[in-house]
Chain A
Amino acid sequence: MSALTVLYALLFYAAAATLVVGVAWKCWVYARTPQPLKIPIPPAPTTRRGVALRMLLEVTLFKSLFRSNKWIWLFGWMFHVALLAVLLRHLRYFTEPVWAWVALIQPLGLYAGFAMLAALLGLWARRFLVDRVRYISSPSDHLMLALLAAIAASGLAMKYLAHTDIVALKAFFLGLMAFHWHELPADPALLVHLALVATLMIVFPVSKLLHAPGVFFSPSLNQVDDARERRHTAGWSARGG
């Protein structure tokens, strides 16, 4: 077993653990923190079912963002949908036999790779070209886009420029999941791609990527507009009065 394989195996165990534990911890903090007052933002549904529909439209179609700014919506939505397609395409490296629907969407996942890169470049261009967005961008905002763009680019490079041994790669990941390690092919593009993905997994719980679980806990989006009908108390508002 090469040192490289050991290094990457350990890296991915650490990254996966950080991602899962970190996000779970954050979700637990959000869930445990009380929301003492009712602060739904309109258009606020008056039923739980309505709230579920609202949340569904927000996380699948980015409804508020669409209303807000068509360019951000276009690039943002394109990126997220493409990322989803790409992630689903990658399931083939983690399943044996490959599920039929995963096999079916393989070409789609390829187009999505390009769409993802284009959307990221669009979002990044806004950080330079729109003075308001330039002002609010921190180095970390640029780095996050750089990281995601590099992941997309290195992934596409392996498909179109420098093929890697995906059979061996699949064996490596199946081995990781079964705790029965196999050699990792030492292709530079693959090593870069995997290192960046692991980095993304590690920074997820300590970065703005927390918007992904956060949106579900956002009281302005997930509260029912029924303050007069149901008495709501939590935290300090449950102790007082």
Chain B
Amino acid sequence: MASFETPAIGEYPVIPLLRADAMAHSKPFVAKPEHQKPLGFPGELVPDWERVAVTRLGELVSQSRALQVFLDSCVKCGACTDKCHYYLGTADPKNMPVARQDLLRSVYRRYYTFAGKHFPKLVGARDMTKDVLDDWYSYFHQCSQCRRCAVYCPYGIDTAEISMAARDIMDSVGLGQKYSNEIIGKVHSIGNNLGLPGPALRNTLDGLEEDVKEATGVDVKFPLDVKGAEVLLITPSADFFAEPHVDGLIGYAKVFHAAGISWTLSSHASEAANFSLFIGNHDNLQKVAERIREAALDLGVKRIVVGECGHAWRVAYSFWNTLIGPFDFLDARHPAPQHICEVTYDLIRRGALSFDKSANDDKVVTFHDSCNVARGSRMGDVPGGQFLIPREIIRACVNKFVDMAPETIGETTFCCGGGGGLLTDDLVELRVKGALPRMQALQQVVEEHGVNYMAAICAICKSQFAKVLPYYKHPMDMIGSVHGLVSNAIVLGPKQ
């Protein structure tokens, strides 16, 4: 791992001048055959990969109106060029969304458009060569698929769709990314990203029950595989053991306990994450999602609730109904999967929970909107509910809350820098640099308001910040779960 410098945080954000190839060396580890095969991909680069890649590109475009329109419509206006956190943090021109798209668009034009076939130089069309493939591998693994650029594009061109397609094409020729593909393999074979088998999970949950009993004196249960429970909780497996994630899980359990809602986890579907989204592969996306339906039917639950996980909530909110619906077997009052924040917020509004906010008085809290929640989903029944609801929960649990600068939150939130399958140690330089815009906004509220705690509702964000905060001279435990705050403040036992 080459050494690198953490970007300096200036007085105000700046748009850097281009530094060509500044991140050309950044490439994640390549998947080995044993990571590729279980996902249905060739183990290594296939002999006639150029042809296979171009054919796959054509298939993908013909199956997706988004790709078809996005590849044709870009006018190179430049509106997106300063919107990507990876560009702002690295100054590498290929990290400008339009330039990243062009890595693939240039090949599409060469093989699938009149202008590119006959006048390649004129329209910047390129043959599918090893250099192009290397560029793809490097720069399509410098996109966290956060969709911030798409908010600013006059045509809604979504780089995430293009980066997912590029990764799918690379997988189809045998050039996969180890981190994502190994994890998807674990979900297929064991049931979760961490490779935690059922008995180990039960053990962990027993441990949590003891911890909570010790801390509160209350018997809060962490049920697993309980048939007939009302709620099936699908949560990222990071929640089962790592700080600060586990505080969130404890928070969900306390909420269910306080509200008297019976719930269960499933060892068959002990993972909310679906990294197949990141690699853009439909078959794996479907297969991983299918476990949720199977578990819900097997356990006979009435509701499905999803824990704090950004991309999982995008998949659950936006894709589950398509992939594994209809959910006609659920309770008619909760006919669709809900976010844990929706559950908690609803209980708060109905006065079913009571809080002692002073339990969080050591904290001045801000909230990081996770990209997939902010731009890939919604909560509640009004537009923007995904921004309102987590903040309302935080306000119910803490006395001191401030937001970061408006252009860095809400639908224009900056990605944490580790999303989209990039949360791996072989990409640490990218992750640290990509966190710059968020760190800049955080620094401002730290200085102006004494913020010492950033809450989030995404396992990737939490892990990413725990890693990169120290690079920016903040303590790693400054990042936490929204339901960690709930856990601190919630009053268990009979309502006062």
- Mark A residues whose CB is within 8 Å of B: 26, 29-30, 33-39, 41-46, 58, 62, 64-65, 67-69, 72, 76, 126, 130-133, 135-141, 143, 203, 206-208, 210-211, 214-215, 217-221, 225, 227-233, 235-237, 240-241
Question: CB distance B18 to A132 under 8 Å?
Answer: yes
17 residue pairs A–B, Cβ–Cβ below 8 Å: A26-B72, A37-B322, A41-B375, A42-B151, A42-B411, A58-B154, A64-B156, A68-B152, A72-B79, A136-B96, A140-B122, A143-B122, A211-B72, A214-B155, A218-B73, A218-B157, A227-B322
Question: CB distance B322 to A232 under 8 Å?
Answer: yes
Q: Indicate whether B213 reaches chain A with its CB closer than 8 angstroms.
A: no
Which size bracket describes the interface of B in this complex?
35 or more
B177-196 Cβ-contact flags toward A at 8 Å (1 or 0): 00000000000000000000
B150-172 Cβ-contact flags toward A at 8 Å (1 or 0): 11111111100100000000000
Question: CB distance B63 to A235 under 8 Å?
Answer: yes
Q: Indicate whether B93 reaches chain A with its CB closer than 8 angstroms.
A: yes
Question: CB distance A39 to B72 under 8 Å?
Answer: no
Q: Which residues of B contact A30 (CB under 8 A)?
A: 65, 68-69
Question: CB distance A38 to B318 under 8 Å?
Answer: yes
Query: With A42-B411, A231-B325 given, is the CB distance from A136 to B82 under 8 Å?
Result: no
Q: Indicate whether B337 reaches chain A with its CB closer than 8 angstroms.
A: yes
Instruction: Give CA–CA (A208, B220) in the complex, Å.
Output: 60
Question: CB distance B74 to A211 under 8 Å?
Answer: yes
Nearest CB in chain A to that of B411: its residue? A42
Q: Indicate whether B141 reaches chain A with its CB closer than 8 angstroms.
A: no
Instruction: Give CA–CA (A194, B430) in the complex, Å.
Output: 52
Residue of B99, B154, B158, B384 ringed by the most chain A CB atoms within 10 A: B154
Question: CB distance A72 to B63 under 8 Å?
Answer: no
Q: In the complex, how many angstroms separate the beta carbon of B332 from the nearest chain A beta carbon?
A: 13
Instruction: Give CA–CA (A178, B106) in the complex, Å.
Output: 43
Q: Which residues of B contact A35 (CB under 8 A)?
A: 64-66
Question: CB distance A229 to B336 under 8 Å?
Answer: yes
Query: With A214-B73, A228-B337, A231-B322 given, is the CB distance from A45 to B383 under 8 Å?
Result: yes
| CB-contacts of B107-142 with A (<8 A) | 113-115, 119, 121-124
Q: Which residues of A contact B62 (CB under 8 A)?
A: 33
Partner of A240, one of B68, B122, B286: B286
Extra 7 A-B pairs, beta carbons < 8 Å, given A35-B66, A132-B18, A140-B119: A36-B322, A132-B81, A133-B81, A203-B115, A214-B69, A217-B65, A237-B323
Nearest CB in chain A to that of B286: its residue? A240
Question: CB distance B114 to A206 under 8 Å?
Answer: yes
Q: Which residues of A contact B376 (CB under 8 A)?
A: 39
| CB-contacts of B221-254 with A (<8 A) | none
Partner of A241, one of B68, B82, B323, B411: B323
Instruction: Give CA–CA (A135, B155) in the complex, Å.
Output: 21
Question: CB distance B318 to A39 under 8 Å?
Answer: yes
Partner of A64, one of B115, B152, B161, B378: B152
Q: Which residues of B contact A237 (CB under 8 A)?
A: 282, 322-323
Partner of A139, one of B81, B121, B282, B375: B121
Q: Indicate whether B217 reaches chain A with its CB closer than 8 angstroms.
A: no
Q: Which residues of B contact A33 (CB under 8 A)?
A: 61-65, 68
B193-228 Cβ-contact flags toward A at 8 Å (1 or 0): 000000000000000000000000000000000000
Nearest CB in chain B to that of A46: its residue? B383
Q: Indicate whether B70 reaches chain A with its CB closer than 8 angstroms.
A: yes
Q: Indicate whether B77 reaches chain A with its CB closer than 8 angstroms.
A: yes
Nearest CB in chain A to that of B119: its residue? A140
